[in-house]
Chain A
Amino acid sequence: MVDAAIIITPPSVAVSAVQPRGAKPKARFSGSNIMLYGTLFVVSVYYLLPLWVMVMTSLKGMPEIRMGNIFAPPVEITFQPWVKAWSEACTGLNCDGLSRGFWNSVWITVPSVIISIIVASVNGYALVNWRFKGSEVFFTILIFGSFIPYQIMLYPIVILLRELGIYGTLYGLILVHTIFGMPILTLLFRNYFSSLPEELFKAARVDGAGFWRIYFQIMVPMSLPIFVVALILQITGIWNDFLFGVVFTKPETYPMTVQLNNIVNSVQGVKEYNVNMAATLLTGLVPLIIYFVSGKLFVRGIAAGAVKG
């Protein structure tokens, strides 16, 4: 009976064609493939074209730009616009280019990234593993904070910073960035830590480890991906910030984005497109480098931490 059931196959198939064997063959030029790759190509050109124009323009001299062919590569490559953008371009007040803004941005970004990640990771860890009375309420309020539009909070924060005596200083901006990073980072870390097995935490407690020892020796070593995610989010977020930078600092302490805006928008005679392009590229360089260096870890961390939990 069993044998009969297996042999029932249409005789035409069994006799005529070659029996299929091995990997299933795939058509290379099928309609769906052409559509897929065609669409991808068009979309990537669409996104890359502005970058192309920027890079090319920044490498041209002004006479060549005036000829108007914005897509053409430079006939004569010059790095003068880059040098000018970095150290000579004029804003309304001074003429030392973007360099001042760059260093301001570094002094703002580095401390606020480090402080916000440290505090938020400890927050997330405590919210998951050391639940206290009202911890859920605390978390809800924290998350709710991220839904209030920044514009509403601008003026109160100006007053707060003034009262603290740090309005217009880098410290003030660092404080603001650290606080505004809290909700999303805490959420990120909380979700990641709650995806780690709870029994590890219990085992560490039986082993006599306390709050900080468990945090540093058990939790942090297992959480590299989420720290990378937080790092990228914070560096790009704070580096690219314009609103807080322009509101909470003074001209000497303007971050790079505000400096860029001032260079591009100050009108003194001819508009130097090549310098503007170079300045913009310089400003965008830091987030770009961060993405290229840690993109892989970023994706892995997002998948590990943000989806689960």
Chain B
Amino acid sequence: MNSLNQTATQAAAETTAVQTHSIQVKELTLSFGSVSVLKNMNIDVAEGEFIVLLGPSGCGKSTLLNCLAGLLDITDGEIWIKGKNVTWAEPSERGIGMVFQSYALYPQMTVRGNLSFGLKNARMPKDEIEKRIARAAEILQIEALLDRKPAALSGGQRQRVAIGRALVRDVDVFLFDEPLSNLDAKLRSELRVEIKRLHSRLNNTMVYVTHDQIEALTLADRIAVMRGGIIQQLAAPQEIYNRPSNLFVAGFIGSPSMNFLHGATIEGGGAFQFGRTRVNLAGYEGGAVLDRPRAILGLRPEHLHIQDHAEPGLTIPAVVEIDEPMGADSLVWLEAEGGLKMSVRVPVERRMAAGTEVHLKVDIPKASIFDTGTEQRV
């Protein structure tokens, strides 16, 4: 009884305190038997924020989304949506709409039937249902499709209807579970823009699961990079791209991925020693580098510049292997000291002959240094 009262007062206090939070995940843990899938997660999502959960398959991102939706019972922790503790609430009571990868349209119902199913379950009056369907159809431009069955729709149209099904519920939180993965590349980029447009029009909170970093970088206000049921970094896309908090995030984000140079920091953190090459670390934006016997210097392909003359402490010598013109720019693959493969992005006009000896100028303010032991950025 006492503890119950306590929780009640606590809840009341929380309600007043978290008005600006749309979703709060507190110490969420999910285990299946002895296997723990999500470990002690804490996320606060602000009202109207677009959060992307990004990670390789099996990292728990879809599982987390299912927990938010109430489709999976969590083992420990709390989930708050709109200032209400919904940890034990049914999916339909949480004020969420969900869009699935496989669209999950009811095949035997028309588009109209699909859109109205949830509303009918909520015993909404008919004219209100009609009004909402009309509005959603107008927003998503599917008015002409309302009387068709899902089988008669294309992939893009199906996904629109699936979004519409979340839309008619008129909820504050949208959950997307890899909604674009089943579409072809062209349609995917079109719908990606459309989702972004939808977000700016509706200003709902959106939680979006994907393994596609382009989707994550383009859509998100903040990205949560996940691995092994743990959030590795939760930050704005630029922050994640420029200052990855650890080696995993650095390697996962960016295509082609970051170049990693294994070496040591010397001179009290003033320089990086890599084989016989020494790189000056003056201007590094991060914490105290210190002397670390094993460290990794991470450099993105666009933060290296090819030049023909050496500048001691500023350049890395390398030999051109191949270049890959990619349309807008070109990717040059080089071999540096010790057989290390590196990639550098250059303007497409600049063709590099194999075997050319060049020097790579390092853009230190944009570089990242990781401790090899902890794999954390310093």
Interface residues of A (CB under 8 A from B): 197, 199-200, 202-209, 213, 217-218, 221-222
Known: A208-B92, A221-B108. A203 touches B100 (CB 8 A): yes
Q: Is the CB of B165 within 8 A of A203?
A: yes
Residues of A with C-beta under 8 A to B118: 206-209
A202 to B106, CA, bound (A): 11
A55 to B90, CA, bound (A): 63
B277 at the binding interface (Cβ < 8 Å)? no
**Of A197, A204, A208, which is in contact with the most chain B CB atoms at under 10 Å from its CB?**
A208
> Shortest CB–CB separation between residue A200 and chain B, in angstroms?
5
Tally chain B residues at the interface, Cβ within 8 Å: 25
Q: Is the CB of A206 within 8 A of B92?
A: yes
Q: Is the CB of A199 within 8 A of B96?
A: no
Q: Is the CB of A204 within 8 A of B117?
A: yes
Contact of A205 among B71, B105, B107, B108 (CB under 8 A): B71
> Shortest CB–CB separation between residue A23 and chain B, in angstroms?
32
Q: List the 9 shortest-distance A-B pairs measured between CB atoms, nearest first.
A: A208-B92, A207-B118, A199-B104, A203-B104, A208-B121, A221-B108, A199-B100, A206-B91, A206-B98
Interface string of B87-105 (1 = CB under 8 A from A): 0001110001110111011
A208 to B91, CA, bound (A): 7
Q: Is the CB of B107 within 8 A of A202?
A: no
Residues of A with C-beta under 8 A to B122: 208
Report the nearest A residue to B93, measured CB to CB.
Answer: A208
Contact of B106 among A200, A205, A208 (CB under 8 A): A200
Q: Is the CB of A209 within 8 A of B117?
A: yes
B69 at the binding interface (Cβ < 8 Å)? yes
**Of A199, A209, A221, which is in contact with the most chain B CB atoms at under 10 Å from its CB?**
A199
Residues of B with C-beta under 8 A to A213: 121
Q: Is the CB of B69 within 8 A of A206?
A: yes
Residues of B with C-beta under 8 A to A221: 108
Interface string of B144-182 (1 = CB under 8 A from A): 000000000000000000000100010000000100000
Q: Is the CB of B121 within 8 A of A202?
A: no
Known: A197-B102, A200-B106, A222-B107. A206 touches B117 (CB 8 A): no
A204 to B90, CA, bound (A): 12
Residues of A with C-beta under 8 A to B121: 207-209, 213
Known: A200-B106, A213-B121. A205 touches B92 (CB 8 A): yes
A222 to B109, CA, bound (A): 11
A223 to B102, CA, bound (A): 19
> Shortest CB–CB separation between residue A129 and chain B, in angstroms?
11
Interface string of B63-83 (1 = CB under 8 A from A): 000100111000000000000
Residues of A with C-beta under 8 A to B91: 202, 205-206, 208
Q: Is the CB of B100 within 8 A of A202?
A: yes
Q: Is the CB of A207 within 8 A of B92?
A: yes
Residues of B with C-beta under 8 A to A205: 70-71, 90-92
**Of A200, A207, A217, which is in contact with the most chain B CB atoms at under 10 Å from its CB?**
A207
A284 to B169, CA, bound (A): 55
Q: Is the CB of A207 within 8 A of B107?
A: no
Residues of B with C-beta under 8 A to A217: 106, 117
Interface residues of B (CB under 8 A from A): 66, 69-71, 90-92, 96-98, 100-102, 104-108, 117-118, 121-122, 165, 169, 177
> Shortest CB–CB separation between residue A170 and chain B, in angstroms?
36
Residues of B with C-beta under 8 A to A200: 104, 106
Known: A207-B92, A207-B117, A208-B118. A202 touches B69 (CB 8 A): yes
A208 to B70, CA, bound (A): 11
Report the nearest B residue to A197, measured CB to CB.
Answer: B102
Q: Is the CB of A203 within 8 A of B108?
A: no
A69 to B104, CA, bound (A): 65
Contact of B104 among A197, A208, A222 (CB under 8 A): A197
Q: Is the CB of A202 within 8 A of B165?
A: no
A208 to B100, CA, bound (A): 16
A199 to B175, CA, bound (A): 13
A218 to B107, CA, bound (A): 9
A218 to B90, CA, bound (A): 19
> Shortest CB–CB separation between residue B158 and chain A, in angstroms?
12
Known: A208-B118, A208-B121. A202 touches B92 (CB 8 A): no
Q: Is the CB of A218 within 8 A of B106?
A: yes
> Shortest CB–CB separation between residue A213 and chain B, in angstroms?
7
> Shortest CB–CB separation between residue B68 and chain A, in angstroms?
11
A203 to B107, CA, bound (A): 12
Residues of B with C-beta under 8 A to A222: 107-108
A200 to B107, CA, bound (A): 9
Q: Is the CB of B165 within 8 A of A199?
A: no
Report the nearest B residue to A224, measured CB to CB.
Answer: B108
Residues of B with C-beta under 8 A to A199: 100-102, 104, 177
Known: A197-B102, A199-B101. A206 touches B107 (CB 8 A): no
> Shortest CB–CB separation between residue B337 and chain A, in angstroms?
38
Q: Is the CB of A202 within 8 A of B102?
A: no
**Of B106, B122, B169, which is in contact with the most chain A CB atoms at under 10 Å from its CB?**
B106
> Shortest CB–CB separation between residue A14 and chain B, in angstroms?
40
Report the nearest B residue to A202, measured CB to CB.
Answer: B71
Residues of B with C-beta under 8 A to A218: 106
Not counting A203-B105, A206-B91, A207-B165, a sample of 17 additional A-B residue pairs whose C-beta atoms are within 8 angstroms of each other reads A199-B100, A199-B104, A199-B177, A202-B71, A202-B104, A203-B98, A204-B106, A205-B92, A206-B71, A206-B96, A206-B97, A206-B118, A207-B118, A208-B92, A208-B118, A209-B118, A209-B121
> Shortest CB–CB separation between residue A211 and chain B, in angstroms?
12
Residues of A with C-beta under 8 A to B106: 200, 203-204, 217-218
A177 to B91, CA, bound (A): 39
> Shortest CB–CB separation between residue B31 and chain A, in angstroms?
15
> Shortest CB–CB separation between residue B248 and chain A, in angstroms?
29
Residues of B with C-beta under 8 A to A209: 92, 117-118, 121
Residues of B with C-beta under 8 A to A197: 102, 104
Report the nearest B residue to A209, measured CB to CB.
Answer: B121
Residues of B with C-beta under 8 A to A208: 90-92, 118, 121-122
